[in-house]
Amino acid sequence: MNEERAPNRTVKATARNVMMSPHKVRKVLDQVRGRPYEEALMILKFMPYRACEPILKTVYSAAANAKHNLGLNKSKLFITEARADEGFRLKRFQPRAQGRGFPIRKPTCNITILVQELT
């Protein structure tokens, strides 16, 4: 019962309420998940998708959290988990013919990145 556990060296960063569909963000996250930190930065900088910018900021934030909070080396980090969950939906109406209102639902998403140090 007196086992010594290795400390949890996983660090998390979250970007909430990003004005983008989670489906579009997941396309980019699938390319980055499980890769080393520096390789993920290279991929995100040169991909032509709009979703890369908020993901890049979140990856930078996770690495900064790891360095500041736990003193981890950025070059040894890799992305263990990357997910995009649904946020709230902005509900708007588009005027249509004969006085009708057509609903428009603008999706948002929450991006979560977990990084861990390779040993």
Question: Domain with 67 in it: what CATH number?
Answer: 3.90.470.10
Beta bridge partners of 78: 36, 116
> What is the domain extent for residue 84?
13-117
Q: Is residue 5 domain-resident?
A: no
pLDDT score at 9: 85
State the pLDDT confidence band at 22, using cuts at 50, 70 and 90: very high
Q: Is residue 76 domain-resident?
A: yes
The mean pLDDT value of the chain amounts to 91
Listed in sequence order, the residues at least 6 apart from 104 whose beta carbon sits closer than 8 Å to its beta carbon are 91, 92, 93, 94
Q: Is residue 22 domain-resident?
A: yes
State the pLDDT confidence band at 7, using cuts at 50, 70 and 90: low
**Closest Cα partner for 95 from 87, 86, 104?**
104
What's the CA gap between 78 and 10, in Å, rounded? 10
Structure confidence by residue, pLDDT tens digits, 9-18: 899 999 999 9
Q: How many CB atoms lie within 10 A of CB 82?
A: 25
Listed in sequence order, the residues at least 6 apart from 118 whose beta carbon sits closer than 8 Å to its beta carbon are 36, 76, 77, 78
